Amino acid sequence: MVTPAAPTQPQLQPAELAPTPIVDSDHPAVRDFAEARAAGASSSKQRAIRLYYAVRDEIRYDPYTAAVEAETLRASATLACGRGWCVSKAVLLAAACRALGIPARLGFADVRNHLSTARMREHMQTEIFYWHGYTSIRSGDGGRWVKATPAFNIELCDKFGFLPLEFDGETDSLYQPIDREGRRHMEYVNERGEFTDVPLEAMLATFAEKYPFMNAGPDEVEGGNAFGGDADFDRDVAAETSGER
């Protein structure tokens, strides 16, 4: 008597490779973006490097888009918008990596950030950016997780005189404490850990306490903009860097 074979069970994806409601690595636009930007790369490390620079420079940094809400944080939404803040850009990089089979997580830290505009200083009343986001990628052969921070696009760095963050797929890419002129730039003050998806509830709780002007959600913010409906980050950066504040 032949014993029937056991039914084949679907193979589970590791959490760092699976799509989530926010890291929607299975979205067609995200997959197309990842495949196009990494085309021709010969290794997962090279693919991760290409994806890093694509997200860093093709998606413009805009902290006025900061909203702790799944719909606007999704990788596909950031890709469609062409703009994002540190968390949404980290989400897009993680999603693009996962779309190509590269394990990726989301990392968070509180930082003292000296890149700001007059409008941001007026609203925030603090230099601390809570839940600053970066991407943690396992791209090399050794299985080591490497931090990548794709937030500030190259044009923004040039305007403020910051050293642009590079990424080689092997060493952590974290913000420097000083800029090109030796001025204070960034200080990491608290590590919050790494996650497979955005910890929305924890972020909302912190933002409600620390940033009351944001009202903890985009639906209650004028024009859907965290810093006022007429806020324009590019315009404010131009004023900030030209001395016309």
0.95 exceeded by the pTM?
A: no
Q: How far is CA 177 from the centre of its chain?
A: 19
State the Cα–Cα distance between residues 120 and 75, nearest whole angstrom: 25
List of residues 6+ apart from 214 with CB closer than 8 A: 66, 207, 221, 226
Per residue of the chain (245 residues), what is the pLDDT tens digit?
A: 444 444 444 445 699 999 999 999 999 999 999 999 999 999 999 999 999 999 999 999 998 888 889 999 999 999 999 999 999 999 999 999 999 999 999 999 999 877 777 787 787 888 889 999 999 999 876 678 999 999 998 988 888 888 889 999 999 998 876 667 666 678 899 999 999 999 999 999 999 898 877 754 444 444 446 666 677 887 877 887 775 43
State the Cα–Cα distance between residues 160 and 183, nearest whole angstrom: 11
Domain positions in the chain: 28-242
The first and second tokens of residue 165, run together, are: 């963050």
Q: Which CATH architecture has domain 28-242?
A: Roll (3.10)
Q: How far is CA 160 from the centre of its chain?
A: 20
How far the first Cα of the chain sits from its last, in Å, is 86
